[in-house]
Amino acid sequence: MRNDIRSRAIVMGASMAGLWTARVLADHFEQVLVLERDHLPDGAEARPGAPQSRQYHILLRRGLQLLNELFPGMEEELIAAGAVPFDATWDVKVRTRGRWLPQFKSGQWLVSCSRLLLEATMRRRLRKHARIRFVEGVEVVGLEADEQRLRVSGVHFRRRQAQENEAATIESLAADLVVDALGRRSPTPTWLESLGYTAPQESVIDSFLGYVTRRYRQPKNFQADWRMMLLTATPPHMPRGGLIFPEENGVWVVMMAGANKDYPPTDEAGFDEFAQSLGPEFYTAVRSAEPISKPIGYRGTDSRWRHYERLERWPDRFVVLGDAFCGFNPIYGQGMTVAAMSAMALADEIRRSSGQLDGVAKRAEIAFGKVTKGAWLLATGADLEWPETIGGERSNGPAERFGRWYIDKVLSALADDQRVRLAFNDVNQLVKPIASLFAPEIMLRVLLHSVKA
């Protein structure tokens, strides 16, 4: 292998983190093999390895920016396939803290479509890439390392058809870089231990949030001043929220969520009652549409960060990202975007290493830690406000107490100050860091609002 051209990277897992990563690695490796246990459909169809794909998925604005950067023309392609573009403050009717926010044009554009369409469109594009190959129906079962176990040198896998056959052979594939994009249930902690490394510490914060989702046909000749409706929960006393989310083909996803163990029911009568409890605007809209699926529930929404970035000893040439690194409470819609940001951080580390892969893996894990931190603070900061939440502790130093007080005032100002709302959206959509809310102009507005209120 020449120093400036790396020959092969293996990405384990062909879900969103795997797709982003394959795309960035194709700029740096002659061959990128994506190993996936499922057989991948050609179109926008569900598959067993990513069961969450049936739930609504929003790609945050930072994710959309990266999509456009890495897959030029993809946004238009999605819209041509029926995805719905929307202005975050004009097309979305938002109720937060019990107040409807004013609608105004901001140019903060997003696109809504099914997760299945997004993933299938990215996959289709990558299948055409000369350097990327999907190897489907294979289950990775372990890592291969060099003799000193200082460096991962490939993977062990077995073909799924052979699994029932007891003599299923384990095969090996060598690579110059191996990426774990295997999701929340990634076996990497065990694999690391078997190579003589320690498993990472985990931070787990659970606000006991449950989802229920049901798909509807949008009412014929639907006329309203919104394309999407969002009702947010407010800790510590209002655990319920709801969303009407447009997808391609005139479909509405009606999602309702309850934090703090106020789980929404999945039977029809219970679903209806929960919808009614969210208020007449939401309920009337839901009732005007025709259901086309049964309600599907989802629990297990804890945020779980495996702190690979903290491990002192790390095998070279091995990278863990996406949900395998950190899975977020999905209500905040961060997972796909943080996976994209992590893939970009990996590409940055490779570029910075100017032709030398050694050490990149460790530096990349540290970079993922930084990328993850902002999103983690947003997700868990809100979750820690619920009385039943377990895991994690709210720091009670003066700076943290001021931070919480200030964010509370920011949230109160959203209904009255457009500038504050746009700044808040930038943070929430992972376009800007939380620190940007503490810029003097924003602080002044927030403090003046709090004095007037």
**Shortest distance, position 392 Cβ to ligand FAD, whole Å:** 19
Contacting residue, 9, 11, 17, 212, with ligand FAD by CB under 6 A = 17
* 102 upstream amide cis, omega within 30 of 0: no
Contacting residue, 29, 52, 191, 232, with ligand FAD by CB under 6 A = 52
The structure tokens 């897992």 sit at 13
Q: How far apart are CA 198 and CA 189, in angstroms?
A: 8
Contacting residue, 25, 35, 347, 442, with ligand FAD by CB under 6 A = 35
**Shortest distance, position 445 Cβ to ligand FAD, whole Å:** 29
Candidate segments 36-44, 235-243, 268-276, 419-427, binder of ligand FAD by CB under 6 A:
36-44
Contacting residue, 75, 248, 309, 323, with ligand FAD by CB under 6 A = 323
Amino acid at site 159: R
Contacting residue, 44, 110, 140, 259, with ligand FAD by CB under 6 A = 140
Output 218 or 429, the one with its CB closest to ligand FAD.
429
- Residue 335 lies near ligand FAD (rule: CB under 6 A): yes
Strands 29-36 and 6-12: parallel
- Residue 192 lies near ligand FAD (rule: CB under 6 A): no
Contacting residue, 210, 258, 295, 333, with ligand FAD by CB under 6 A = 333
- Residue 403 lies near ligand FAD (rule: CB under 6 A): no
- Residue 342 lies near ligand FAD (rule: CB under 6 A): no
Query: 85 phi and psi, to 5 degrees?
Result: -75, 145
Candidate segments 23-31, 50-58, 272-280, 288-296, binder of ligand FAD by CB under 6 A:
50-58
Contact set for ligand FAD, span 209-228 (CB under 6 A):
211
- Residue 177 lies near ligand FAD (rule: CB under 6 A): no
**Shortest distance, position 192 Cβ to ligand FAD, whole Å:** 15
- Residue 264 lies near ligand FAD (rule: CB under 6 A): no
- Residue 36 lies near ligand FAD (rule: CB under 6 A): yes
- Residue 336 lies near ligand FAD (rule: CB under 6 A): yes
Contact set for ligand FAD, span 409-448 (CB under 6 A):
none
Q: How many Cα neighbours within 13 Å face the side chain of 274?
A: 27
Q: How far apart are CA 274 and CA 256, in angstroms?
A: 8
Output 16 or 120, the one with its CB closest to ligand FAD.
16
Contact 364, 346 (CB under 8 A): yes
Number of residues that bind ligand FAD (CB under 6 A): 35
Contacting residue, 25, 50, 367, 382, with ligand FAD by CB under 6 A = 50
Q: How far apart are CA 193 and CA 189, in angstroms?
A: 6
- Residue 337 lies near ligand FAD (rule: CB under 6 A): yes
Output 376 or 442, the one with its CB closest to ligand FAD.
376
Output 113 or 413, the one with its CB closest to ligand FAD.
113
- Residue 16 lies near ligand FAD (rule: CB under 6 A): yes
Candidate segments 85-93, 161-169, 330-338, 422-430, binder of ligand FAD by CB under 6 A:
330-338
Contacting residue, 71, 86, 298, 308, with ligand FAD by CB under 6 A = 298
Footprint of ligand FAD on this chain (CB under 6 A)? 12-18, 35-38, 49-50, 52, 55, 57-58, 139-140, 181-184, 211, 298, 322-324, 330, 333-337, 339
